[in-house]
Amino acid sequence: METTINVPKGVSNLCKRIIPCLDIASGRTVKGVNFKGLVDAGDPIAQSLEYERQGADEIMFLDITASNENRKTTLDLVCEVAGQLTIPLTVGGGVSTAKDVINLLEAGADKVSMNTAAVRNPGLIDEVAKGFGSQCCVVAIDARMDKVTGRWKVLIGGGREETALDALEWAKECITRGAGEILLTSWDKDGTRDGFDIPLTKAFSQLSIPIIASGGAAGADYFVEVFNEGKADAALAASIFHFSEWTVRQVKDVLKEQGVKVRL
């Protein structure tokens, strides 16, 4: 199976995607979302619908709930959001078994993102891809540069634990196992607000499946860079949108001016 691609010829009208990400715990948005004029700053439903209105291409929920009892709350939330949202919803965080995936899809999630569980049990990727299709099978990779080798290592457990896995090789394995998309987070850039990790994104964008770049977004110019230089297929961001610094629409307007294909 080919895991990398050549530069394609021909015309494509496929748009680059902007994906706001909400951190969810016990059915509420955490890490403060602060929309101007929004009464309840912790309501993920109102926030998702606001992002949809602004022109978001997809919504991502990252479930950071620690306990299992609260997972039910997440499923109820997914069901309620999916009932109102007319754009795709991806849910990640704590997905560890095929049963978790079934529950999320049945609730109305369109895609499920797996991270630590996929590293510990790579067969989970095959199981999800074979059972429900690659289209719903997103593998999230947390990568950090190994200064000695100049290559990227895979981190798990929310960045707390470094593995021996080479991130690019791991991504290729995910593709052969049936992953449909890679959500790539740079742990050198996450939270720095000084731009996406362009070398990392560029290295991964030669892979044969779409790459969602994440970590470091702080202004529209960084999105231009991650698409034009990094060749990402989509970009995920949280705080830049949560604090109303930029609306999704404003970012897309700048992208369009800079020649990036977006859905307006």
Would you tell me which residues interact with another protein (CB under 8 A)? 5, 8-17, 52, 55, 57, 79, 82-84, 86-88, 105-110, 132-136, 180-181, 208-210, 233-234, 263-264
User: CB of 193: closest distance to another protein in angstroms?
Assistant: 26
CA distance 55 to 106: 26
Closer by beta carbon to another protein, 132 or else 188: 132
User: CB of 161: closest distance to another protein in angstroms?
Assistant: 29
Residue 190 designated active-site: no
Instruction: Please tell me which residue in 23, 57, 197, 233 is annotated as part of the active site.
Output: 23
Residue 23 designated active-site: yes
Closer by beta carbon to another protein, 24 or else 105: 105
Angle, alpha carbons 227-114-231 (nearest 5°): 10
Closer by beta carbon to another protein, 4 or else 192: 4
Closer by beta carbon to another protein, 67 or else 176: 176
DSSP letter assigned to residue 207: B
Q: Which helix (H) or strand (E) holds 31?
A: none
User: CB of 148: closest distance to another protein in angstroms?
Assistant: 32
Long-range contacts of 78-86 (CB under 8 A, 24+ apart): 78/104, 78/107, 78/108, 78/109, 79/107, 79/108, 80/45, 81/44, 81/45, 81/48, 81/108, 82/107, 82/108, 82/109, 82/110, 83/108, 84/45, 84/48, 84/49, 85/48, 85/49, 85/52, 85/59, 86/52
Coil, strand or helix at 38: coil
Instruction: Please tell me which residue in 110, 142, 197, 233 is annotated as part of the active site.
Output: 142
CA distance 9 to 18: 24
CB atoms within 10 A of CB 35: 18
User: CB of 8: closest distance to another protein in angstroms?
Assistant: 4
Closer by beta carbon to another protein, 66 or else 264: 264
User: CB of 203: closest distance to another protein in angstroms?
Assistant: 15
CA distance 210 to 138: 10
| Active site members | 23, 142
